[in-house]
Amino acid sequence: MALGPILFLVIYNLPWTLISPEADKVIAVAIWMIVWWVSETVSISVTALIPLTIFPLVGIMDLKSVAANYGSPIVFLFFGGFVMALALEKVNLHKRLALNIVKLTGTTPDKVILGFMIATAFLSMWISNTATTVVMLPIGLSVIDLLKNDADGFTSGDKNFALALMLGIAYAANVGGIATIIGTPPNTVMVGFMEQQYQADISFLHWMMMGVPFSLIMIVVIYLVLVKFVYPNGLNSESSTHSIIDQKLADLGPIQPLEKRVLIIFILAMLAWILRTSINEWFPFLSFSDAGISMLAAFAMFTIPFKHSKNDFILQWSDTQKLPWGILILFGGGLALASALAKVGMIDLIGKTVSNNVSWSLLLIGAALIAIMLFITELMSNVALVAIFAPMVAGVAIGLDQEILHLLIPVTMASSCAFMLPMATPPNAIVFASGFIKVKEMTRAGIILNLISIAILIFYMQFIIPLLF
């Protein structure tokens, strides 16, 4: 708690200059934020308020300029995504979608695991990975209870099935979010940084063209590693699994009119994101943006009446009590810090230092940054980590005379590929709390997946991302 402000004061009051008087002030604040972000001695969202309070105080930026970062369009893109997720959860449409996906994949144990992973990854594209895991966990536990209570008890094969199912849910929630800009906060932080500092507009469709194939590849890799190599179960078909899924669908009842309305708005928003460029060409009087589409969908959730009576809408404002407002503040804090670093020339300085002193190739530097990001995110918030890393990686790319996105995108994606430890991501922690997983069991599968992820991300950096960006 004390170390952050103490280091700030020490650097701020140094009798000599590190880089320049203005840059030293930003460095002092950045170190304070990094210490609190890494230690999480206070909420990472509270730490993100430091620029708003300290920057104007010490003359780094005026309050109006700092506050603009907290109202960036990218913040509202994610706000709209949060509101749509709230609507999906309120009417239980996310459960219906998940159960139907699981039902389609079959009843053999391995196919059940695959079904859960596909359903989890799909939901995680649109709602938070935490909420997705919370939805999928009790359904998975119901299937595991079948095995615990059958005639032969809880055998080693049953145990491996439970392990693979729990880990599959967590890992699919992590990688599923990579598929869309709103799927996981690090994506949004990076897109916001590029939009604000370099006026680079990364469209929803453009990101999905890269993100969806990566998520699919990772789902296949995770599935094969878990069920074929690390925790094979050797179990036969379990028809009663299908009965559980059917029963849970029956409990939800037939699809309700309210669910249909949410589904229509959800589908229209997805189509608008995917077809945004074409829509703007077809209708020149419109000027759709990804953030604007997100806010239109959110607005519809609050204003489309259900029974044409007072206050009878899909969502009430009181529903936003469940909205993770802290994440939105975190975006603003990260963008404000990046903006200050750019203003005082830190990004350019990193670029010049790299270009003058580093003889490594882009491949080696990219691989090192991807590996560093992936293993550090096992221990601290990936959102905060991307906020810290993005300006640095941009500077490195500039120094190497490379397109910034070619290096920054794979490094950002690496922040969502933490598979080793329970504290790495909320999904890891949630399934660990189920009691079916030990730390060493998660680490055993996680280290393999971490290394495979690094290899795939390096391939993406070299061959796929340059084709798209």
DSSP for 181-240, written as a single string: TTSSHHHHHHHHHHHHHH-----HHHHHHHHHHHHHHHHHHHHHIIIIIIS-------HH
Q: Could you give the C-alpha distances from 233 to 111, 193, 430, in angstroms and in order? A: 12, 45, 23
User: Is 367 part of any domain?
Assistant: no
pLDDT given at position 172: 97
pLDDT given at position 380: 76
The number of residues in the chain equals 469
User: Is 363 part of any domain?
Assistant: no
pLDDT given at position 100: 87
pLDDT given at position 307: 67
User: Is 222 part of any domain?
Assistant: yes
Domain total of the chain: 1
pLDDT given at position 231: 93
User: Is 191 part of any domain?
Assistant: yes
Count CA atoms within 13 Å of residue 461 on its CB side: 29
CA distance 176 to 120: 7
pLDDT given at position 62: 93
Domain extent, residue 177, equals 74-322
pLDDT given at position 385: 86
Please enumerate, as own/partner, the contacts of 419-424 that have beta carbons within 8 Å and a separation of 24 or more. Answer: 419/171, 419/174, 419/445, 419/446, 419/447, 419/449, 419/450, 419/453, 420/378, 420/446, 420/447, 420/450, 421/378, 421/379, 421/446, 423/378, 423/379, 424/377, 424/378, 424/379
pLDDT given at position 424: 84
* Contact assessment for residue 81 and residue 323, using Cβ atoms and an 8 Å cutoff: no
User: Is 351 part of any domain?
Assistant: no
First to last CA, the chain: 41
User: Is 42 part of any domain?
Assistant: no
Spatial CA neighbour of 118 closest among 49, 58, 74, 179: 179
Determine the 3-state secondary structure of 275 from DSSP.
coil
CA distance 339 to 28: 15
Looking at the DSSP bridge assignments, the partners of residue 313 are 305
User: Is 81 part of any domain?
Assistant: yes
pLDDT tens for each residue of the chain, 469 residues long: 999 999 999 999 998 988 888 999 999 999 999 888 878 888 888 998 999 999 999 999 999 999 999 998 888 988 988 898 889 888 888 888 888 888 887 768 899 899 999 999 999 999 888 889 988 988 888 888 877 766 666 788 889 999 999 999 999 999 999 999 999 999 999 999 999 899 898 999 999 999 999 999 999 999 999 999 999 988 776 656 677 778 888 888 898 888 999 999 989 998 888 888 888 889 888 888 888 999 999 999 999 877 666 667 889 999 999 888 888 898 888 889 888 888 888 877 777 777 676 677 889 899 999 999 999 888 777 888 898 889 999 999 998 888 999 999 999 999 999 999 887 888 998 898 888 898 899 999 999 999 999 999 999 999 999 999 9
pLDDT given at position 187: 94
* Contact assessment for residue 388 and residue 373, using Cβ atoms and an 8 Å cutoff: no
User: Is 276 part of any domain?
Assistant: yes
